[in-house]
């Protein structure tokens, strides 16, 4: 048992060291003075990918050694340290995920950290013996709450929203093709930073936007 933990701790040290090296490479590039904007951006992308994959790996290692994991009749694990947010399902079957951060920059690939976060929220919900909804044809609404100062990515096509349907596919939506899943990217001016994700049947699209236009709360 202890040798297993020691092995995983070694992996954790390797992960953090690789992330440290990635940030060191960026500092060296900036100190040299000859780095162009494209080179800096590419290095930042690599560093971000390293940190994201490392964070997911660390999550899995920590969960592996959680004392209650796998014990028959054990109390369900608590929510993951407010790392992500919360998930609710309304009486009408609409699903709402609130993330405690805005969508990350994602020009080349879907961020693994965001996908992993949503999967864990789904797992937490089901671990409490609650059933997730299932949609053959759905509407995915992603509504970022922020103001000019707090937004981190300006263009919608650079936001990592594709990680969201990737996490939901084969879990709450049958498929994410254009005929099975409609997508809306919205923004709401707010001092409180959050990303609100709604999933509802396509037949309820008009109801959703009517409620939104009237500032009527979707969930109580």
The pTM assigned to this predicted structure is: 0.68
* Sheet order of strands, 95-99 included: 85-89, 95-99, 194-201, 138-146, 181-189
Fold of the domain built from segment(s) 85-213: 60s Ribosomal Protein L30; Chain: A; (3.30.1330)
DSSP code string of 67-114: TTTT-TTPPPPPP-TTSSEEEEE-TTS-EEEEESSPPPB-SSS--HHH
- As a whole number, the mean pLDDT across the chain is 80
Helices and strands in the chain, H and E counts: 5, 5
Reported as a pLDDT band with limits 50, 70 and 90, residue 148 is confident
From residue 60, how far is each of 82, 142, 164 by CA, in Å? 16, 27, 20
The pLDDT of residue 26 is 76
Question: Residue 5's Cα: distance from chain center in Å?
Answer: 28
The pLDDT of residue 13 is 80
d(CA 215, CA 116): 31
Q: Which residues contact 101 (CB under 8 A, 6 or more apart)?
A: 193, 194, 195
Domain boundaries in the chain?
A: 2-64, 85-213
Q: Write the pLDDT tens digit of every residue in 72-110.
A: 444 444 444 444 689 999 988 999 999 988 888 776 566
* Token digits of residue 205: 């699209």
User: Can you give the length of the chain in residues?
Assistant: 220
Q: Write the pLDDT tens digit of every residue in 35-80.
A: 677 777 777 777 776 776 677 676 667 666 655 444 444 444 444 4
């Amino acid at each position: 048992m202890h040798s297993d933990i020691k092995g995983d701790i070694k992996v954790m040290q390797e992960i953090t060291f690789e992330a440290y090296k990635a940030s060191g490479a960026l500092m060296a590039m900036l100190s040299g003075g000859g780095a162009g904007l494209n080179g800096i951006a590419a290095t930042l992308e690599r560093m971000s990918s390293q940190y994201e994959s490392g964070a997911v790996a660390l999550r899995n290692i920590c969960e592996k050694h959680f004392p209650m994991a796998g014990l028959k009749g054990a109390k369900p694990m608590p929510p993951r340290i407010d790392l992500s947010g919360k998930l609710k399902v309304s009486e009408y079957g609409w699903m709402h995920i609130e993330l405690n951060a805005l969508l990350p920059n994602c020009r080349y690939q879907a961020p693994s950290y965001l996908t992993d976060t949503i999967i864990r929220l789904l797992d937490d919900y089901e671990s409490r013996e609650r059933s997730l909804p299932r949609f053959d044809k759905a509407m995915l609404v992603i509504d970022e709450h922020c103001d000019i100062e707090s937004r981190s990515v300006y263009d919608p096509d650079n936001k990592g929203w594709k990680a969201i349907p990737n996490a939901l596919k084969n879990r709450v939506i049958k498929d994410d093709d254009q005929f099975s899943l409609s997508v809306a990217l919205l923004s709401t001016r707010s001092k409180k930073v959050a990303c609100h994700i709604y999933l509802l049947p396509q037949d309820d699209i008009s109801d959703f936007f009517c409620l939104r236009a009237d500032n009527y709360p979707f969930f109580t």
